[in-house]
Structures are given as C-alpha cells and as structure tokens.
Amino acid sequence: MAAQETSSSDEASMASASSASTAGSTEVIAVEGHQELEKACGFRYRREFTDLGLGFARSEMQQTLRLWGFEVSRTACDRWLKRYRLGEGGVDGSAALYLRSRQDLQRWYHVEGLTRSKLVDRYRAETGVFANSENLERWLKAPAQALVSLQNNEDVHTHACGEFVLDQLQNGVTAEQVVQQLLDQYLIKTTPQRCLAYRMYREQRGEYWTMEKLERLHWQFLYAQVNLEKSLAAGGNHRKVHLRNTRDLTTVRVILCEAIHVAEEYIPLRSLSCFYVRHEPQARLALEFPEAVVHTDRVSAFAVEVYRKNFRGFDLYDTAHQQLSDEDYRPHVLRALCSIQTRSLCGPGPAQMPAWLQPIVWPSVQRSIQVFAGPIATSP
C-alpha cells in the first residue's frame, strides 16, 4: 500500500514538472529593435545560419527566432540582416566611412557604372559596412567626389600621371587607349586631343631632350659610348634582353647627365634608344675598321645658308654622287651657268638661271658651326 502511494506521488511530481516545462517552453520573449536582437541571439543566429549562407530571408529568420522563444518584428529582422556582418558595436555607413573607401566607390560608380543596389551590395561585401542606397548615391554625385578632369597641359604635367601619358604615347600607344588607362588607373577624365597636345607641349619644352636634340648637340659623346661587345640599340621583345638594354641605356644617361649637368629626368631613355637605333651601325664602323681614318665635316654658316635657301622645296638624292650625276647638276653645266664671287655674280643674269640658283643676300659676317652628318670611315 505504501509502495503504491510512493509510485503515485512520483508520477504526480513528474507530471507537474512536465507541465511546468511546457508552460516555460511556450513563454515568448518580446524583442524590440535590431540592437536588442543582436544582444539576445545575434551571435547564435550568425553561427548557425547566416555565416553558413542560410536564413537571409526575413520571414525565415522571424520563424526561427519564434521557435527559439523570441518575438521579433519584420523590421528588426530586416535591419539586423543588413548589419549582421558588423557584429556588436557596428555602425551604419556615413560620409566619414565613405571617405575611407572613396577611390573604390568612385571606380565602382563612375568607371564600372554599378547601379544603386549593386553598389550597396559591393560596398557591403568589400568593407562589411551597410550604406543607405540613396544616401550613398547622393554622396557620390557631390562635386567633391567627381572625377578629376585635366583641362590643359599644365594640369597634366603637374599630375602624377604626366610621365605615364608621355611614356605611353612615345611607345606607340594610341591616345584613345591612354585616355581609357587614365580612367581605369588614375580615375582621371580627359580627351585624346588633350593627350596629343600634352606630348607636343613636353617635347617642345626647352629642357626636354628629344632624339633630334641629342643628334645636334651631343652626337660625338654618344658615339664614344658605343662598343663592339654590346649593343645599345633596342633589342627584341624578350624580357631579359629588354632589361639588359634598359640597364645599359641608363648607364649611358647617367654619364651624359654628369658631363652636361642636366637632370636625368629631362633625357628619356626612349630618346637615347631611338638615337642608337639610328646611329649605332654608323658609330661601329670606326671600331670595326680601326685602320680607317675618321673624317668629321666642318662647314661654314655661309655654306649652310646656301644649301638651305637654294634647295628648299626640292627633292634631293640620297648621296652627293647621285645628285651630281643628274644632268642639271653636273659640274661643267654649273660652271657654265654661274660663278659666285665675293662681291659680284658672273655668268648669265638672274632671269636666265634656275630658281635654285637665284642670287641671295649673304650675311657679312661668316662664322663656323659644326653640322652633324655622322663620321665617315674611309680607308687609309
């Protein structure tokens, strides 16, 4: 009898415990706002759902939290899902946070042309910051976030992209391609016409050394740097050959700049490379034939002026021999036509002479200048 009473009392206690647990399980905790949601079960929901790529729908999250005993509104679930990567202490995106990713946002909006929703998703995926789409777009459209526009040659020259533009154009890249590269790499807007004008501006500056300027002023010094062991002319497209050629040209540039006291930046390697591509075979002749005598022509300003004025606009032959072989240029014909003396012109009058032999007024003072024609190697 006592055993039966004991068993009945145990069953009653078990029943009361089960009813109490059922009453406890049906009790729902109301959660207001995404901040309280984060404190209550944010870590658990991230670990079991969102970090695994699950439970991103508001209705699904709301149903799951209800099973856990939390009553949460749809608005709180929506805001938490947009902020869940931030964890505790996260803040909404603002202008201060936008500035930290200013270049990325400019590239995504102005260059890649992302829409408002894709821009917000990209920004959140890259930085973990949620931004209001309207606020972010309004910030990007402000004048402070507009792309830099280069309007004149001075703007290009003072910008970090100035040397890049000049180098690309001198290496054969089209102006349209340079404009696109500036937009992709420097976030700069300009036009092909501005790039071409900038190249002309740089190459015509007094301190800029072009290949023609090197030929006119320092061809002897550069000829002396040529040897038979290595070539200073541009090699093939192989990377090692290109690196070796660049290293050799840099050495020559350092020596030249030390001799003439000019900054290395004013003599581009491209100008040196073009110089040696054109003149290295001529410079090697004296080294290949050491017994030859090198003649350097020196002519007067008077002769240069005669050549320049009389033959302007005429198609001349490649060599003097070919020129004098022409019937109109043979020595005995020229002697019969005219003879230039110090003060008078002997021979036929100006009306009977060809256009290229018309008399001109010569300067009274003659001075000698050195004209670059390249050394000529002849046999002894």
pLDDT tens-digit readout, 252-283:
999 998 888 877 777 888 888 889 998 998 88
Q: Which two tokens stand for residue 17?
A: 């415990």
Beta strands in 89-133 (DSSP E): none
3-class secondary structure, 6? helix
Q: Is the pLDDT of residue 2 over 60?
A: no
Mean pLDDT of 337-353: 43
Instruction: Assign 3-state DSSP to the chain and report helix, strand, coil percentages, each to 5.
Output: 60, 5, 30
- Per-residue pLDDT at 207: 63
- Per-residue pLDDT at 51: 67
Give DSSP secondary structure letters for 236-267: -S-HHHHHHHHHHHHHHHHHHHHHHT--GGGS
Q: Is the pLDDT of residue 247 over 50?
A: yes
Per-residue pLDDT band at 251 (split at 50, 70, 90) = very high
Per-residue pLDDT band at 177 (split at 50, 70, 90) = very high
Per-residue pLDDT band at 355 (split at 50, 70, 90) = very low
Beta strands in the chain (DSSP E): 29-31, 70-72, 148-149, 188-189, 293-295, 299-300, 339-340, 345-346, 368-369, 376-378
- Per-residue pLDDT at 360: 43
What distance in Å separates the CA atoms of residue 134 and residue 122, rounded to the nearest whole number? 15
Q: What are the phi and psi torsion angles at 71 (to 5°)?
A: -105, 110
Domain extents for the chain?
A: 25-90, 95-145, 148-203, 211-288, 299-378
pLDDT in tens, 186-202: 988 999 999 988 887 78
Q: Nearest-CA neighbor of 80 among 103, 46, 120? A: 46
- Per-residue pLDDT at 330: 62
Contact 226, 272 (CB under 8 A): no
DSSP summary character for residue 143: G
- Per-residue pLDDT at 26: 57
Per-residue pLDDT band at 1 (split at 50, 70, 90) = very low
Mean pLDDT of 136-152: 86
The pTM assigned to this predicted structure is: 0.39
Q: Nearest-CA neighbor of 380 among 284, 294, 251, 271? A: 294
pLDDT in tens, 44-67: 887 788 767 677 788 888 888 888
Sequence-separated (6 or more) residues with CB below 8 Å from residue 62 = 72, 74, 77
What is the average pLDDT score of the chain? 74
* HSE-CB of 349 using CA atoms within 13 angstroms: 1
117 vs 14, more confident: 117
Q: Is the pLDDT of residue 226 over 80?
A: yes
Mean pLDDT of 78-97: 62
The H or E element spanning position 76 is: helix 74-83
What distance in Å separates the CA atoms of residue 88 and residue 320, rounded to the nearest whole number? 88
- Per-residue pLDDT at 176: 93
Mean pLDDT of 27-32: 83
What is the CB neighbour count within 10 angstroms for residue 80? Answer: 25
The H or E element spanning position 183 is: none
Mean pLDDT of 309-326: 74
Contact 292, 380 (CB under 8 A): yes
- Per-residue pLDDT at 337: 52
What distance in Å separates the CA atoms of residue 261 and residue 187, rounded to the nearest whole number? 37
Q: Is the pLDDT of residue 76 over 50?
A: yes
Q: Is the pLDDT of residue 101 over 90?
A: no
pLDDT in tens, 362-371: 343 333 333 3
Task: Report the percentage of the chain scoring pLDDT > 70.
Answer: 71
